[in-house]
Amino acid sequence: MSDTFADPRPPRVDRRTATFLSSCVLVLLVCLIGATVPTPWVAIGPGPAPNVLGESEGKPVITTNLPTYPTSGHLNMTTVQISDGLTLFRALQLWADPERQVVPRASLFPPDETQEQINQKNDQDFTNSQSNAAAAALTYLKMPTRVFVGPQPPGLPPNGVLETGDQILAVDGRPVDSVEDVRAALAGTTPGQQVPVRILRGDAIPTDVTVTLTRLGDSAQGALGIGPVAKPETDDEITISLSGIGGPSAGLMFALAVVDKLTPGELTGGHNIAGTGEITSEGTVGPIGGIGLKLIGAQRAGATVFLVPGKNCEEARADAPAGLQLVRVDTLTDAVQDLDMLRAGQTPSTC
C-alpha cells in the first residue's frame, strides 16, 4: 500500500510573468491615482462675457428709477473660468489646451483660507465693484449725490466708528457732496491722525464722531478706512445685478453701462465693445489678471474692440487675437472719450 501526498510548496512562477503582473498592478495603481486623486493645480480659461446693457436671468443687469435713454450694441464684461479639484489626467488634458493655463492653486488662492472665505472675498470684491461703478458714473456725469459708507474694503479692519450705510455729511469740518469731497477734505492729513466726521445714521439726527485715520496702500495721506459710495441726491437708486460672477474686474464696464443709460445717444454706436478693469469711485481704472484669456472670451462673444487698462497694455499686445482692436483706458473719462471717437470714425489711443 502506498500513500500519495500533494507537494506543499506553491508552484513556481516564471520571472517574466511575475514582472508582467507587477507592472500591471503598478499601471492600474497609477491610473487609479491619476483619475481620482486631486492635484494642487487649477486650470483657468476664458469665461462668459455677458452684455451689461442687456439682461441676466430675465432681468436688466442695470436698473434705476432715474430718467434713462435707449441703448444699443454691447458692452461685454469679460471673465475667466477656474477649474478646481483637477485630477492628474484632467490637468494634463487641460495643459495641452492652448486656451487654458494650468497653474498652482496657491498662486490664485491663499493656502491658509478656506473655500468659504475665498468665495466671500470674491463676492465682496464684486459688490464693491458695483458700488464703485455707480459712484464713478455719477461723478463723471456731475450729478448731485450723497455719500454713504459702503462695503468694507478688503484687507482693511473695520474702523469701529463708521458703519456701512452711514451718510457722510462732513469730514474735518468740510461739507461732503461727492466722493471727491471726502478725499479733498483729507488732503494734508496723515495716518493715525484723528478727524471729526459728521454722519447721519438711519433716521437719527446728525452726529459728530471721531475717526482715527488709516493708511491706504503707499499713500502718505490719511484715509477713513471705508469705501465711500455715491448715490443720487434724491431717493432714486442705481442697481447692478449679475449673478454667478465674482471679483472686482467688472467695474469699468458697469460704469460705462450706467453712463450710457443715463445720457442721450448710444455710447457704443451699435457696436460690440468688450473690456475689463477695476474702477475706483473717482473713476480711475486699475489693472486686472488673466487679460489674455479675457481677450479670447471677448473675441468669442463677437467683440471688435477691447478696452484695456493702461497697465495691462503690454501683456494685451502680446496676446491679442487677430481682428480685435485694443484701446487703452486709464479713467472712465478716457473710456467714454475713446468710444465717442470710435463712433465718429476716429482712432482712439491704442495699446
pLDDT score at 178: 85
pLDDT score at 5: 46
Q: Does domain 44-139+235-343 have CATH number 1.10.3470?
A: no
Bridge-based pairing state of the strands 145-149 and 55-56:
unpaired
User: Is pLDDT above 70 for 168?
Assistant: yes
Q: Taking all residues of the chain, what is their mean pLDDT, rounded to a whole number? A: 84
Largest CA distance in the chain: 122
Domain ranges of the chain: 44-139+235-343, 144-232
Cell numbers at 206, concatenated:
446728525
Partners of 147 in beta bridges: 168, 230
For 38-63, the pLDDT digits (tens) are: 778 888 889 999 999 998 888 899 99
Torsion of CA 291, 293, 294, 297, to 10 degrees: 160
Contact yes or no for 99/46 (Cβ under 8 A): yes
User: Is pLDDT above 90 for 175?
Assistant: yes
User: Is pLDDT above 70 for 75?
Assistant: yes
132 pLDDT tier (thresholds 50, 70, 90): confident
4 pLDDT tier (thresholds 50, 70, 90): very low
2 pLDDT tier (thresholds 50, 70, 90): very low
Phi then psi dihedrals of residue 45, to 5 deg: -150, 175
For 197-254, the pLDDT digits (tens) are: 999 998 789 999 999 988 876 678 888 888 888 888 776 678 888 877 877 889 999 9
User: Is pLDDT above 70 for 30?
Assistant: no
For residue 209, the 8-state DSSP code is E
Contact yes or no for 291/319 (Cβ under 8 A): yes
Query: Which of the two residues, 27 and 194, has the higher pLDDT score?
Result: 194
Measure CA 25 to chain center: 47
7 in the Ramachandran plot: left (φ > 0), alpha (ψ -120 to 50) or beta?
Answer: beta
Torsion of CA 17, 18, 24, 28, to 10 degrees: 160
Return d(Cα 336, Cα 71) in angstroms, integer: 14
User: Is pLDDT above 90 for 341?
Assistant: yes
Min mean pLDDT across 44-53, 157-166, 256-265 is at: 157-166
For 261-314, the pLDDT digits (tens) are: 999 989 998 899 999 999 988 899 999 988 999 999 999 999 999 999 999 999
What are the start-end ranges of the E strands in 22-126? 41-46, 55-56, 59-60, 62-64, 74-77, 80-83, 101-104
Contact yes or no for 278/92 (Cβ under 8 A): no
pLDDT score at 57: 84
1 pLDDT tier (thresholds 50, 70, 90): very low
User: Is pLDDT above 80 for 26?
Assistant: no
| Closest by Cα among 224, 244, 301, 258 to 52 | 258
pLDDT score at 28: 65
At what angle are helices 115-140 and 251-262 packed, to 10 degrees?
Answer: 30
Q: Which fold has domain 144-232?
A: Pdz3 Domain (2.30.42)
Phi then psi dihedrals of residue 205, to 5 deg: -80, 160
Mean pLDDT computed over 106-117:
74
Query: Which of the two residues, 287 and 21, has the higher pLDDT score?
Result: 287
Bridge-based pairing state of the strands 194-200 and 167-171:
antiparallel
Query: Which of the two residues, 304 and 34, has the higher pLDDT score?
Result: 304
pLDDT score at 256: 97
User: Is pLDDT above 80 for 71?
Assistant: yes
Mean pLDDT computed over 71-78:
94
Return d(Cα 228, Cα 150) in angstroms, integer: 5
Count of H-run helices and E-run strands, the chain: 8, 21
